[in-house]
Amino acid sequence: MALFMIERNFASTLDVSEVDVKALTDINTQSGVRWLHSFLSADKRKTYCLYEAKSGDDIREAARRAGLPADVIIELSAELRPEALLAS
């Protein structure tokens, strides 16, 4: 599985319930993608989500089924962490 960063832009502020998360998790599982975590912008109108998936198309399909935007999907090649770089 590859890692992807997804930028989502929402028309209004995002308010996510437990029911929403459960539904999204079910759709993701059916689509073969795994949501790892997300960051929410200060105005609550944009998210940056880290996912595992076989392809960006799988993420687009899961987003379409969930009725969510997937404005930018970027496949990631590596992770950089300052503490790991400073230790080497």
Domain range annotation of the chain: 2-87
Distance CA 33, CA 19 (A): 19
Q: How confident is the model at residue 86 (pLDDT cuts 50, 70, 90)?
A: confident
Question: Smallest Cα–Cα separation from 50: which of 29, 80, 75, 13?
Answer: 75
Q: How confident is the model at residue 80 (pLDDT cuts 50, 70, 90)?
A: confident
User: What are the tens digits of pLDDT across the range 49-72?
Assistant: 999 999 999 999 999 999 999 999
* pLDDT at position 87: 79
Residue 16 scores a pLDDT above 70: yes
CATH number for 2-87: choose from 3.30.1490.20, 3.40.190.80, 1.10.150.120, 3.30.70.3090. 3.30.70.3090
H/E/C letters for each residue in the chain? CEEEEEEEECCCCCCCCHHHHHHHHHHHHHHCCEEEEEEECCCCCEEEEEEEECCHHHHHHHHHHHCCCCCEEEEECCCCCHHHHHHC
pLDDT attached to residue 81: 83
The reported pTM is 0.86
Q: What angle do CA 47, 32, 72 make, to 5 degrees?
A: 30
